[in-house]
Amino acid sequence: MTPRTTVAGVPVDTRHYIDGQRIASARTFADVSPVDGRPLGEIARGTAAEADAAVAAATAAFPGWAATARAERARVLRAIADGVDKRLEDLALVETHDNGALLRSHRRGVMPRVAHNFRFFADRLLSLGQEDFTTRGHTNHVSWDPAGPCALITPWNAPLMLATWKIAPALAAGNTVVLKPAEWSPLTASLLADVAAGAGLPPGVLNVVQGYGSEAGAALAGHPDVRRISFTGSVATARTITAAAAAHLTPTSLELGGKSPLLVFADADLDLAVDLAVEQYDNAGQVCLAATRLLVDERIAQEFTRRFTERAASLVQGDPREESTDIGPVVHARQLARIDGFVRRALASGARAVIGGGPHTALGGLYYRPTLLTDVAQDSEIVQEEVFGPVLTLQTFRTQEEAVALANDTRFGLAATVVTGDRERADRVTAQLVAGTVWVNCFFVRDLRAPFGGSRLSGVGREGGTWSFDFYCDVKNTVTAPGGWRDHG
């Protein structure tokens, strides 16, 4: 196995990173770019042996890192953020080639957010705490103790940003980490290991094990020495992880799929509504939060559809490295086939494609045309199941009550978007929606101080702000009786 590859001129080590060392595996797997189908490298394929070694390294490093003063942990996290800033262009280029998302988005939004994740949780660590309180004269003192080694299993659609959303609070809390990145987009995790080492993070505090979920991921999920598991991905994989974690009652945080609604009322700013709807094609629709179900008041549905069609027609689909591109490829041939299967079955069942409806044959490769389907039944597969591609459905409603009922009528509850010009209506509707996040007249406004997670099959638990520390720590309350102290003077 060649231990390094070069992507867009950037050298990337393709081995695991365990206890501060690069470790090869007996087997590898191919990483292929969705941009042009070119091989990016042969990646070390971890198994239970590598997972065990990484957990052992994290376990050995835990006491020292946990005992490190908060100010020093925060300093190291800020140094990692500085390292991300210095390598922002490298990280953006590699991730675009690895998962096909827009280079301009990586440069302007995603990689700056990666650095912000570390800085935010460094700051949050230093402000973590609450005032003591008394109970019948007894003092209650709440503390957040590091839990131990954490297994973080992350997805391919925003690899580095979503990984650091977990890594940063876990490290800030005083824990050690074993990261298992998605096999379809593992490269920036390897670069992050280099950045962390350069920032002075001690060996064993951050480990990266590459490989398949059924091998490396399964070994981490069922490991008896792992104290926390955080996973972002599919419901099916979450069931496997939680079953393995149950053997040791390992606390698990899950951010899973979505089938989020976008409700457009007749009093809405229609141009805003159309802009928000078209925005759901971002990252070729490979966004868990995407509002893929457009629910539109029947009185404005025809005009909404006309404007939406015109607006969507202006989107530029093509090479994600080009500044003018709005929609790039999907991540993998299996994902393209999955998306197309959903659409074909919907069309066969009577749905109508207003736009799109299949792969972009002129571009070839992994490009799927932005698609809007109408004439879909509420209980149909295309309405009920997550597609995770550039595919939206449009349904109409007559009343506010019907809109809410349609919005809540899935197994998911990750997010929802409401577009209305009536503040009282917004308050009434948002109070009734089942969702972890609700946006009103906006979309994808995220603040790390806010809780994030889903309801129903969209997840278990909340992370962000103090909620992250609540998960990554053993929260302790110490109750002390008044008086009775000996004088040692």
Q: Catalytic site residue 288?
A: yes
- What confidence score (pLDDT) does residue 322 get? 97
Residue 51, H or E segment: helix 48-67
Q: Catalytic site residue 401?
A: no
Q: C-alpha dihedral over 170, 171, 174, 176, to 10 degrees?
A: 90
Question: What's the number of CA atoms in the CB half-sphere (13 Å) around residue 109?
Answer: 13
Concatenate the DSSP letters of all residues of 200-235 into one string.
Answer: TPPTTSEEE--S-IIIIIHHHHT-TT--EEEEES-H
Is 301 strand, coil or helix?
helix
Q: Which residues of the chain have pLDDT under 50?
A: none
Residue 127, H or E segment: helix 111-127
- What confidence score (pLDDT) does residue 488 get? 74
- Distance (Å, rounded) from C-alpha 182 to C-alpha 177? 16
Q: 201-224 b/e with 16+ CB inside 10 Å = b?
A: bbebbbbbbbbebebbbbbbbbbe
- What confidence score (pLDDT) does residue 489 get? 62
- Distance (Å, rounded) from C-alpha 303 to C-alpha 42? 51
CA nearest neighbour of 141 among 471, 481, 449, 473: 481
How would you class 355 by CB atoms within 10 Å of its CB: exposed for 0-12, middle for 13-18, buried for 19 or more? Answer: middle
Q: Give Cα 486 to chain centroid, integer Å.
A: 53
Q: What is the pLDDT of residues 251-308, one digit of tens each?
A: 999 999 999 999 999 999 999 999 999 999 999 999 999 999 999 999 999 999 999 9
- What confidence score (pLDDT) does residue 487 get? 78
Considering only CA atoms, give the Rg of the chain: 24
- What confidence score (pLDDT) does residue 483 get? 86
Residues 255, 386, 463, 473: which is the catalytic one? 255
- Distance (Å, rounded) from C-alpha 38 to C-alpha 431? 48
Class for the domain spanning 4-256+458-477: alpha beta
Q: What is the pLDDT of residues 429-467, one digit of tens each?
A: 999 999 999 999 999 999 999 999 999 999 999 999 999
Question: What's the number of CA atoms in the CB half-sphere (13 Å) around residue 378?
Answer: 14
Q: Domain spans of the chain? A: 4-256+458-477, 261-440
Q: Return the CATH architecture of domain 261-440.
A: 3-Layer(aba) Sandwich (3.40)
CA nearest neighbour of 330 among 256, 383, 390, 276: 390
- Distance (Å, rounded) from C-alpha 333 to C-alpha 46? 23
Distance separating the N- and C-terminal Cα atoms of the chain: 67
CA nearest neighbour of 327 among 94, 98, 102: 102
